[in-house]
Amino acid sequence: MAAPVLRCVRKLLKLVDFTPVPRRYRYKKKWATTEPQFTASRLALQNFDMTYSVQFGDLWPSIRVSLLSEQKYGALVNNFAAWDSVSAKLEQLSAKDFISEAISHQKLEPESGLSPTPTLDCSPNLRCFTFSRGDVSRFPPARLGSLGLMDYYLMDAASLLPVLALGLQHGDIVLDLCAAPGGKTLALLQTGCCRNLAANDLSTSRTGRLHKVLHSYVPQDIREGNQVRVTSWDGRKWGELEGDTYDRVLVDVPCTTDRHSLHEEENNIFQRSRKKERQMLPMLQVQLLAAGLLATKPGGHVVYSTCSLSHLQNEYVVQGAIELLANQYNIKVQVEDLSHFRKLFMDTFCFFPSCQVGELVIPNLMANFGPMYFCKLHRLP
């Protein structure tokens, strides 16, 4: 029995080339540096499981499943195109404009005998269509309309809430401090209220994307006139560059972009090489919000927003910026009550009920928008 086995082994040994490989051709894999054990998205999920299970308690498992599921989108109608026919086409898909629905419900409440809701101080003229709760239908890709502009812009519908909360009024001078890739900038222009709009982002590659969005959705005379200005300055220094200048400022800061971090490896902030950058995010966010407040005229308003669930990047940043302005600049800032937003838009979004400062949209399988945190601040005269 042993003899046939030995013969087979000898044959195999003859087939194997044991000639030493010259040193210059040798290669040893460095597993620790070249092949990380976990992907960035997996590291993000581990981080969220540790932190958000404590922050949200029993709500975290359902939020977790929703974050890992396919995101829902809304269709922001381009008012510079043939918006009426575009709206009609979207209605044929059984989608509804969640903003007009909320406003109409608000007007009907006094007649129904319910306690009146505070007047909805939101930016006007925005139309965004969404499918109803539980409906996972997708909008078809936007197309060029008869006027040579795209019909609508697909975005997370929750991203419109900061723009609505800003409460733009006709003739306002507006700053979008962290504007790219351009969805909220486009929404600001759709209101028709901006006398001047400064759209800034430090990253030149991201401002390139912003230019593409504006070129596809906004008429040339508005893009190339004095109404819109696109810059790539350091937003942290805006208070020094143009202090006390703007009526309304949107500060949609860089954050951990929770949903993106769970689904995309490219440009993921949970990459090992970006660990320090991630740890420094709250400090950067405080600096950007403080700069936005300093750029605002006394009596003006700022909306701070992120697409993160982390209270370290949300409520704590707001409180830190308020303290910074009070201590270093003797400027008083007041947080505005946005609880009526929660009531008005509860049919479309799922709000976290225990948010102490501002409002937080949390993902839910029936309404899988967000996450989106937003807080409105009033710089007192």
Kindly give the pairing relationship between strand 74-77 and strand 128-130. Answer: antiparallel
Residue 30, pLDDT > 60, answer no
Q: Which two tokens stand for residue 39?
A: 């992907």
Inter-residue contact 333 to 293 (CB < 8 Å): yes
175 is written with which tokens? 């700053």
Domain coordinates in residue numbering, the chain:
40-106+120-379
Question: 201: annotated binding-site residue?
Answer: yes
> pLDDT per residue over 64-78, tens digit each?
999 999 999 999 999
Does 97 appear as a known binding residue? no
Question: Has 179 been labeled as part of a binding site?
Answer: yes
Please indicate if the annotation marks 84 as binding a ligand. no
Q: Which of 307, 350, 355, 375 is catalytic?
A: 307
Q: Residues for the chain: how many in total?
A: 381
Q: Name the maximum alpha-carbon separation found in the chain.
A: 99
Q: What is the pLDDT of residue 210?
A: 95
Main-chain dihedrals φ then ψ at residue 205, nearest 5 degrees: -70, -35
Confidence of residue 86 (pLDDT cuts 50, 70, 90): very high
Q: What is the pLDDT of residues 114-163, one digit of tens each?
A: 555 455 578 899 999 999 998 989 999 999 988 899 999 999 999 999 99
CA separation for the pair 11, 3 (Å, rounded): 13
The string of DSSP letters for 331-379 reads: --EEEPP-HHHHHHTTTT--B-TT-SSSEEE--BTTB----EEEEEEEE
40 is in an annotated binding site: no
Closest by Cα among 122, 127, 132 to 75: 127
| Residue 39 pLDDT greater than 50, yes or no | yes
Weakest-pLDDT range from 97-111, 238-252, 281-295, 351-365? 97-111
Distance of alpha carbon 318 from alpha carbon 58, whole angstroms: 26
Global pTM reads 0.88
Most confident of 7-16, 103-112, 364-373: 364-373
DSSP notation for 15-75 = HS--PPPPGGG-----HHHHS-SS-HHHHHHHHHHHHHHHHHGGGHHHHHHHHHSPPP-EE
Is there a catalytic annotation at residue 8?
no
pLDDT greater than 70 at residue 1: no
Q: Quick one: which H or E segment has residue 200?
A: strand 194-200
- On the question of pLDDT at 36 being above 70, the answer is no
* Residue 183 marked ligand-binding: yes
pLDDT exceeds cutoff 70 at 25: no
**Amino acid 29: pLDDT:** 52
Mean pLDDT of the 102-108 span: 76
- 367 has which bridge partners? 364
User: Concatenated DSSP letters for 133-173?
Assistant: TT----PPPP-B-TTSSBSEEEE-GGGHHHHHHH---TTEE
Q: Could you report the per-residue pLDDT of 192-219, keeping only the tens digit for each?
A: 999 999 999 998 888 999 999 999 999 9
CATH hierarchy code of domain 40-106+120-379: 3.40.50.150
